[in-house]
């Protein structure tokens, strides 16, 4: 799939779901989801640090840059 079309579809889906059914965004994070942070990969829908009792709450930001060509 064209990366621009994929990015557009992701943004449209995310913002539509945010406005229509905010709780539906949780479905984007599944057991097969992968977080990559500073070279470390963590798989799953919850982020829990070793030795901590509760999973971390976090937010996500998607920053798309315009094509410079």
- List pLDDT tens digits, range 41-57: 878 877 777 788 887 77
Statement: the pTM of the whole predicted model exceeds 0.75: no
The whole-angstrom separation of Cα 66 and Cα 62 is 13
In which band, very low, low, confident or very high, does the pLDDT at 20 lie, cut at 50, 70 and 90?
very high
The whole-angstrom separation of Cα 26 and Cα 1 is 24
Q: What is the pLDDT of residue 67?
A: 65
Cβ burial 32-61 (10 Å sphere, 16+ → b, else e): eeeeeeeeeeeeeeeeeeeeeeeeeeeeee
The whole-angstrom separation of Cα 54 and Cα 49 is 8
Q: What is the pLDDT of residue 39?
A: 81
Strands (E) across 18-64 are located at 34-37, 40-43
């Amino acid at each position: 799939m064209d990366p621009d079309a994929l990015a557009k579809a992701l943004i449209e889906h995310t913002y539509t779901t945010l406005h229509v059914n905010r709780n539906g965004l949780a479905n984007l994070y599944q057991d097969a989801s992968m977080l990559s942070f500073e070279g470390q990969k963590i798989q799953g829908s919850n982020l829990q640090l070793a030795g901590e009792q509760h999973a971390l709450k976090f937010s996500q930001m998607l920053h798309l840059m315009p094509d410079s060509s």
